[in-house]
Structure 1
Amino acid sequence: MHAAAREREVTLLDYGAGNVRSVRNAIKKLGWTIKDVECAADIANADKLIFPGVGAFGQAMTILEQRGYTQALKDYIQADRPFFGICLGLQLLFEGSEENGGCQGMGLIPGAVTHFDVTKGLPVPHIGWNDLLQKHPSTLLSQVGDRRVYFVHSYHATPTPQNSEWVLATSEYGGEFVAAVRRGNVYATQFHPEKSGAAGLDVLRGFLEPEATAALPAPAADGNGRPRGLAKRVIACLDVRANDSGDLVVTKGDQYDVRETGSTGEVRNLGMPVELAGRYFDEGADEVTFLNITGFRDFPLGDLPMLEVLRQASEGVFVPLTVGGGIREFTDSSGKHYSALQVAAEYFRSGADKVSIGSDAVYAVEAYLAGGGAKDGSTAIEQISRVYGAQAVVISIDPRRVYVAAPEDTPHHTVKTSKPGPKGEQYCWWQCTVKGGREGRDVDAVQLAKAVEDLGAGEILLNCIDNDGVGQGFDIELTDAVSAAVTIPVIASSGAGAPEHFSEVFHKTRAAAALAAGIFHRREVPISAVKAHLNSSGIPARTA
């Protein structure tokens, strides 16, 4: 290779777990080329090495050992050569982890990686945009300022006197945890710079081009007076469907009816998925969710247009991408069987950070409940969570209200409602549905949420068929009931029509995020207006 080209080359250790496409895209956006690690010698010969660890601790260590990378990595780092670990790439540097029943790490940094304490009342995984408390000046973090960065993890390292020489920055979530480490030319972050927007690109630039990055003093701890801590996320959702011509378009409807009224009856077209995703990234969305609501779904891995949407979107959208629709096992027309894990892996490789499971989660929970809560590892939730971590699995719940005169009239979880039923009923429960809301099942939303948490899901996307497209606010009673029943984060969805609806759901429930679609598509409410309103209401929100 020509010397000039080699100067702009970084070596990437991609061991095949999770979405590394976004890291690749971020590196390329900064004008660098990538050489992939194919053998241990590639690690030894690297000028700069990036290790984006994704997934579960035990799985990662097993793969590194099998490929003969562990000792090469340790030798490289101990020689103080330019190294940047991301997320699990930070955790693996420690002595070990509680994850997967207890695993040994590389032992380069004193301390163990432990699970967040769920008894403190905070949702786990820790998902979202949080502040950094920088302990020392560094070129890596010098351009971040007081901007938040994106975390998604259930396990964390704790700063101690024994590892203090390594700790570059910490963050707060039920206590202080290690957010970034540095010793010499070796860096690692618990947060994902490739998913942290412009701030994250500045972090990557600080590693790749330290000579061009000034080491500025750390920002003031007061965050310039804004609400600090983990921000409440504002998520833009794109319902994607094939129209009658076979093109994927972003659509939206009331109570899941996405066809225009009148003589044409065509699928409502609100824009093209990649273009809208890019617009929402520019406007400050904290995450972008693609829900593929196309009905056929008989061959998910043949859904090349949706995979291409992810690939193209991830080239310019540097916040988390979630995709839902068809994440399940299936057998193709030739009789070849594909597991849900294989299907999810293709979406991760195409640019998704998380996958959303809908109807199949309901069927899995029905079997789980019928078996007395026994788990055999066969469900899509368990398979994907085991390999990619709970944070990669979102469960999309589509419930509708069912009214009853008294709690004893149903075995399901009820609440006394402020919205009486058609016959004056004072109580209701929420029936889970499948097939895009067309079929109800004998499972309630609270039941389902508890069960999927036990099966290994890391987040819940809580829709509400009754409120969808109405614009009168989220179903507070539903969101409160579900978010109070689980320890994993809950995303409120369906019904947003004004910035005040976002602050209401955050003030009155434990929701970690709120999602909207139509009001953003039609530019009725700017994302920036929602963020400004939240911060003025004392609710932390990312604004840059």
Structure 2
Amino acid sequence: MSELYLLDYGAGNVRSLVNAITKLGYEIRPVNQPDDILKAKKLIFPGVGAFGSAMTSLVSKNYVDPLKKYIASGRPFMGICIGLQTLFTSSDESPDVHGLNIVNGRVKLFDNATKSVPHMGWNKTLKRKQGLSAFGLSDDRVYYFVHSYAVPYTEDLATWTLATTQYGDEIFVSVIQKDNIFCTQFHPEKSGYAGLRILRSFLEWNGVSDQPTILCDSVEASSDYLTKRIIACLDVRTNDQGDLVVTKGDQYDVRERDNGGQVRNLGKPVDLARRYFEEGADEITFLNITSFRNCPLADLPMLEVLRRTSETVFVPLTIGGGIRDVVDPDGKLHSALDVAGQYFRSGADKVSIGSDAVYAVERYLENGYKLNGDTAIETIAKAYGNQAVVISVDPRRVYVSSPNETAHHVIKTIYPGPQGQEYCWYQCTVKGGREGRDIDVHQLVTVCEKMGAGEILLNCMDKDGTNSGYDIELIDDVKKAVGIPVIASSGAGRVEHFSEVFERTKADAALAAGIFHRKEVPVADVKNYLRENGILVRSPDNIL
């Protein structure tokens, strides 16, 4: 019987952590009641979401006292993300909520004046102690962070701090270790093989530091090493034979022009996702373009895709398509929050909302610019944190001769329209780009950010399938409008297109699909080219 226990307070994706531990040859049991905490020989407390909801859940489940007793007993304890933050006294995120107060300090919101918030992506850590094996932690590797709040590093925390990380001009505590406590702000279960090595080190640890922990007299200057992310996107649907396949089409036309008009089949989703992970993709995004309308929620094929993918893929997984209120064939209603919860429990880290985001913003504008709190964006962000909500935007250009011709936000373009128009606005579309709405991209992204979205997946209907490069003007305009991360999508055809988007805009990530599926431009080639051109990217690491 396993003596390793998982303290899951009920928010976010813990399946990937369980799968990572299983891959390392260990079994882990869930904490189902307070007494289970004190049965553990080792305890892991992971989580995403809000500080307040985490602490409220711990209190309501009567976990606080046994958790403090467990930590005081000297048995090994590991906290991940929220599991680290709750050890502190308080948080800006929930000012009136008390933490466990095991470490005296306050969790604070990042300054978003000069950088995107959440801090989302792969960044380095810098060890602040000597004489430790450091749990496999390496200053030469990057790890996956996704958070808006962190503990600023001060000398008062020196005895607790094993490593720090810099984001922009802020240095925060990214790893704490003291006595039997080891916690990471990043997610080792989502940090590839580098993260798995850290998990293995904890699982092999007896809770006692193997060497004296001597504070460094001086620590080299830190630096922000947040890498640019390369994301592989898989459009998933059923073909005419009922098989789930990865497909791709120009302007969403996924049928072959010959071969009887069959749905284009570029591979099986689980197999392709595993291939991209091994090739070095920083994230995997699944877009469900079938929606499986006549299928009960519990039986959605994409749930099984996520479950199987998360067994072998240890980078963040995003799922899009169908994140809305749904009704089972028997009439049972499931809210968008329920749907998202199913996906998170099946292995997703983020959900992507498309058409429903447009409808939500339309209601916001009709309601006198007021949030009502019941949209999918707001409810999911409140329960799981804004880092869990991605807005997928499908815009297309509408050319005008003068800004006075439209009430929408326009840009002056270097690519004139068919009648020589020098201006354009970007019209948002729904239903896979088939229907335009009277709302522009600027309105959509700024309102969705207010609603709680944590990231923008910025497609471009005009560029889709052209292999002519990303729409730099669109990406630059959106990036200037919001303070959250932006993923560039649509149009990549060569390695140069990836460097162009990072050099000419402040995009946080770049996504591609067909060129990766067909191996026209392998992920590794993109990474190598970016590295050669001085752009920070994560290096391959396939050694466990």
Instruction: Please indicate the TM-score interval, normalised by the length of the shorter structure.
Output: over 0.9
Once the 2 structures are TM-superposed, how far is the Cα of residue 336 of structure 1 from its aligned partner? 2.3
Matched, 1:115 2:115: no
CA distance in 1, matches of 2:197, 2:5: 19
Instruction: Name the residue aligned to 1:432.
Output: 428
Contact preservation (8 Å) 2:13, 2:47: no
Once the 2 structures are TM-superposed, how far is the Cα of residue 145 of structure 1 from its aligned partner? 4.5
Matched, 1:128 2:135: no
CA distance in 2, matches of 1:101, 1:409: 47
CA distance in 2, matches of 1:263, 1:66: 59
Once the 2 structures are TM-superposed, how far is the Cα of residue 414 of structure 1 from its aligned partner? 0.7
Once the 2 structures are TM-superposed, how far is the Cα of residue 435 of structure 1 from its aligned partner? 0.3
1:448 alignment partner, one of 420, 423, 444: 444
Structure 1 pair 411–311 and aligned structure 2 pair: CA distance change class (3 A):
same
Partner secondary structure for residue 533 of structure 1: helix
Partner secondary structure for residue 260 of structure 2: coil
CA distance in 2, matches of 1:455, 1:504: 31
Instruction: Name the residue aligned to 1:45.
Output: 39
Partner secondary structure for residue 277 of structure 2: helix
- Structure 1 counterpart of 2:173, which letter? V
Once the 2 structures are TM-superposed, how far is the Cα of residue 303 of structure 1 from its aligned partner? 4.9
1:188 alignment partner, one of 183, 189, 193: 183
Partner deviation per Cα, 1:126-171 (whole Å, 9 max, x = no partner): 0000010111243344353511000000111111232221111110
Instruction: Name the residue aligned to 1:376.
Output: 372
Structure 1 pair 139–45 and aligned structure 2 pair: CA distance change class (3 A):
farther
CA distance in 2, matches of 1:427, 1:353: 38
Contact preservation (8 Å) 1:528, 1:543: no
Contact preservation (8 Å) 1:300, 1:343: no
Instruction: Name the residue aligned to 1:83.
Output: 77
Contact preservation (8 Å) 1:359, 1:433: yes
- Structure 2 counterpart of 1:509, which letter? T
Contact preservation (8 Å) 1:70, 1:106: yes
Spell out the pairing of 1:488-527 with structure 2 (5 A cutoff): 488-527=484-523
CA distance in 1, matches of 2:347, 2:331: 28
1:403 alignment partner, one of 371, 381, 399: 399
CA distance in 2, matches of 1:32, 1:332: 37
Partner deviation per Cα, 1:408-429 (whole Å, 9 max, x = no partner): 1111111111110000000011
Structure 1 pair 302–71 and aligned structure 2 pair: CA distance change class (3 A):
closer
Once the 2 structures are TM-superposed, how far is the Cα of residue 41 of structure 1 from its aligned partner? 1.4
Matched, 1:155 2:129: no
Instruction: Name the residue aligned to 1:197.
Output: 192
Structure 1 pair 86–391 and aligned structure 2 pair: CA distance change class (3 A):
same
Structure 1 pair 264–101 and aligned structure 2 pair: CA distance change class (3 A):
farther
Spell out the pairing of 1:150-229 with structure 2 (5 A cutoff): 150-174=144-168, 175-210=170-205, 229=225
Matched, 1:463 2:459: yes
Structure 1 pair 540–228 and aligned structure 2 pair: CA distance change class (3 A):
farther
Contact preservation (8 Å) 2:296, 2:328: no
Normalised by the length of structure 2, the TM-score is 0.95
Instruction: Name the residue aligned to 2:538.
Output: 542
CA distance in 2, matches of 1:21, 1:266: 35
Partner secondary structure for residue 210 of structure 1: coil
CA distance in 1, matches of 2:528, 2:479: 25
- Structure 2 counterpart of 1:446, which letter? H
Instruction: Name the residue aligned to 2:473.
Output: 477
**Stretch deviating more after TM superposition (187-196 or 151-160):** 151-160
2:409 alignment partner, one of 410, 413, 435: 413
CA distance in 2, matches of 1:330, 1:293: 15
Instruction: Name the residue aligned to 1:15.
Output: 9
Structure 1 pair 96–143 and aligned structure 2 pair: CA distance change class (3 A):
closer
CA distance in 2, matches of 1:194, 1:440: 40
Spell out the pairing of 1:260-409 with structure 2 (5 A cutoff): 260-262=256-258, 264-294=260-290, 296-297=292-293, 299=295, 301-409=297-405
Once the 2 structures are TM-superposed, how far is the Cα of residue 113 of structure 1 from its aligned partner? 0.6
- Structure 2 counterpart of 1:67, which letter? K
- Structure 2 counterpart of 1:75, which letter? K
Once the 2 structures are TM-superposed, how far is the Cα of residue 102 of structure 1 from its aligned partner? 4.1
- Structure 1 counterpart of 2:63, which letter? Y
CA distance in 1, matches of 2:296, 2:528: 39
Partner secondary structure for residue 103 of structure 1: coil
Partner deviation per Cα, 1:258-307 (whole Å, 9 max, x = no partner): 11002511110000000000000000000000000115535571552111
Once the 2 structures are TM-superposed, how far is the Cα of residue 538 of structure 1 from its aligned partner? 1.8
CA distance in 1, matches of 2:322, 2:393: 15
- Structure 1 counterpart of 2:459, which letter? N
Once the 2 structures are TM-superposed, how far is the Cα of residue 221 of structure 1 from its aligned partner? 6.1
**Stretch deviating more after TM superposition (299-308 or 24-33):** 299-308
Normalised by the length of structure 1, the TM-score is 0.95
1:422 alignment partner, one of 418, 424, 429: 418
Once the 2 structures are TM-superposed, how far is the Cα of residue 246 of structure 1 from its aligned partner? 1.4
1:259 alignment partner, one of 255, 278, 283: 255
Partner secondary structure for residue 141 of structure 2: coil
CA distance in 1, matches of 2:235, 2:435: 19
CA distance in 1, matches of 2:309, 2:105: 38
**Stretch deviating more after TM superposition (456-465 or 258-267):** 258-267
Contact preservation (8 Å) 2:124, 2:139: no
Once the 2 structures are TM-superposed, how far is the Cα of residue 394 of structure 1 from its aligned partner? 0.3
Contact preservation (8 Å) 1:142, 1:214: no
Partner secondary structure for residue 101 of structure 2: coil
Matched length:
533
1:33 alignment partner, one of 3, 20, 27: 27
Partner secondary structure for residue 282 of structure 1: helix
Superposed CA RMSD in Å reads: 2.0
Contact preservation (8 Å) 2:395, 2:426: yes
CA distance in 2, matches of 1:445, 1:35: 46
